[in-house]
């Protein structure tokens, strides 16, 4: 029997799964290394597979990698990833050497769109968007059955859509008023501090954030659930920025289906989903698509990587020369 490796390389976690053609057989979730050189991550993936799935190594047919961006897709390298301290993360070349198998690398959200199309909610549709609301914000888009890639594989860095051109709030990329500056998980504690100083608000959340510089989006949403006033403002801004961003991508790509995933969204769907979509029709000029949370949960990136490995999109095969 032939097996496939699916790798979902994220800023905080890396998921590695050994799979059959249609499903995950076994998976591990590890903390992504934050130090090393351009080969550290490839080595870490190889070592993870060697340690946990050694019995499959000889029968790996292909490896799919859903990677943090931005990418240089031709070389299969992540370049200056916004939320990791590496200049480059080499994937295609070292992983091909390690696994002696075909390797396909795509941006994680692009891969997830391909996963939804091959295995998930997107099967019946020719036009769909996968949107991830996580540490960062990104999308993968299929138009007329074509997976859109872009000249370097970064076609849909939608997190950097300007949703407020008057805003002084800075994004991780250095730009201002970007969707991700308001709603990227990594930025949410900073948004809370910014709002507190802007409006002179004191709250339990602010005190917590001052004492815990390592606080995350999860903490902010916990304070929201306790009724904290500052957390309510943060979530209100999150919802508004995301509604503007979602309207922009619907207007741009005219999808039949929009699938939403990503940790921040999936963990707080009860708070976010309906509010983000409320009034969306006022900003959308095309007919409104079906909008659903992904059915894959945290495994959406793995199913995307698996779809890359099993059924490589020809748009990527052309540029990666495989
Ligand atoms: Zn940005």
In the chain, the domains with their CATH numbers are: 3-114+299-320 (3.30.420.40), 122-294 (3.30.420.40)
192 C-alpha vs ligand 1 centroid, how far in Å?
Answer: 18
Quickly count: other Cβ atoms within 10 Å of residue 201's Cβ.
15
Q: Write out the DSSP string of 217-235.
A: HHHHHHHHHTT-HHHHHHH
Contact 170, 176 (CB under 8 A): yes
- In the chain, which residues have pLDDT < 50? none
161 C-alpha vs ligand 1 centroid, how far in Å?
Answer: 7
Residues less than 5 Å from ion ligand 1, measured at CB: 160, 171, 173, 175, 178
The pLDDT value given to residue 42: 97
d(CA 188, CA 114): 29
CA atoms within 13 A on the CB side of 14: 23
Residue 65 is encoded by which pair of tokens? 């990698």
User: What letters, b where the CB count within 10 A reaches 16 and e where it falls short, cover 36-67?
Assistant: eeeebbbebbbebbeebbeebbeebebbbbbb
d(CA 76, CA 64): 11
89 C-alpha vs ligand 1 centroid, how far in Å?
Answer: 20
DSSP count for the chain of H helices, then E strands? 12, 13
Pairing status of strand 24-31 against strand 13-19 = antiparallel
- Summarize pLDDT for 24-51 with one digit per residue, the tens: 999 999 999 999 999 999 999 999 999 9
The pLDDT value given to residue 36: 92
- Which phi and psi angles does 59 have, rounded to 5°? -115, 30
214 C-alpha vs ligand 1 centroid, how far in Å?
Answer: 21
Would you give the distance in Å from CA 322 to the centre of its chain?
25
The pLDDT value given to residue 118: 98
25 C-alpha vs ligand 1 centroid, how far in Å?
Answer: 37
Pairing status of strand 13-19 against strand 137-143 = unpaired
Residue 235 is encoded by which pair of tokens? 């979530």
103 C-alpha vs ligand 1 centroid, how far in Å?
Answer: 29
The pLDDT value given to residue 322: 65
d(CA 129, CA 250): 8
> Taking the alpha carbons of 158, 160, 162, 167 in that order, is the dihedral positive or negative?
positive
Long-range CB contacts for residues 270-277, cutoff 8 Å, separation at least 24: 271/221, 271/224, 271/225, 271/235, 272/133, 272/235, 272/238, 272/239, 272/242, 275/239, 276/239, 276/242, 276/243, 276/246, 277/243, 277/246
Pairing status of strand 60-67 against strand 3-9 = parallel
d(CA 112, CA 106): 9
162 C-alpha vs ligand 1 centroid, how far in Å?
Answer: 8
């Amino acid at each position: 029997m032939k097996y496939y490796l699916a790798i979902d390389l994220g800023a905080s976690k890396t998921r590695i799964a050994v799979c059959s053609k249609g499903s995950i057989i076994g998976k591990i979730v590890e903390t992504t290394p934050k130090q090393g050189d351009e080969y550290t991550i490839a080595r870490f993936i190889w070592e993870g597979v060697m340690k946990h799935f050694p019995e499959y190594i000889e029968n790996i047919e292909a490896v799919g990698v859903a990677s943090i961006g931005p990418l240089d897709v031709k070389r299969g390298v992540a370049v200056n990833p916004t939320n990791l301290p590496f200049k480059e993360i080499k994937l295609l070349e070292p992983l091909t050497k390690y696994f002696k198998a075909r390797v396909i690398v795509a941006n994680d959200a692009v891969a997830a769109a391909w996963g939804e199309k091959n295995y998930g909610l997107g099967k019946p549709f020719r036009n769909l968007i996968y949107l991830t609301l996580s540490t960062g914000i990104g999308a993968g888009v299929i138009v007329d059955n074509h997976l859109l890639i872009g000249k370097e594989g970064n076609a849909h860095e939608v997190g950097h859509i300007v949703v407020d051109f008057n805003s002084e709030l800075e994004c991780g990329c250095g730009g201002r008023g970007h969707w991700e500056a308001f709603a990227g998980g990594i930025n949410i504690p900073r948004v809370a501090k910014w709002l507190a100083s802007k409006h002179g608000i004191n709250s339990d959340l602010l005190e917590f954030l001052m004492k815990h510089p390592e606080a995350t989006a999860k903490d902010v949403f916990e304070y929201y659930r306790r009724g904290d006033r500052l957390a309510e403002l943060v979530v209100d801004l999150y919802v508004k920025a995301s509604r503007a961003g979602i309207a922009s991508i619907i207007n741009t790509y005219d999808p039949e289906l929009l699938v939403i995933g990503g940790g921040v969204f999936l963990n707080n769907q009860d708070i976010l989903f309906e509010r983000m979509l409320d009034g969306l029709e006022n900003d959308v000029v095309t007919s409104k698509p079906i909008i659903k949370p992904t059915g894959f949960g945290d495994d959406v990136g793995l199913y995307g990587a698996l779809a890359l490995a099993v059924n490589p999109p020809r748009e990527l095969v052309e540029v990666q020369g495989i």
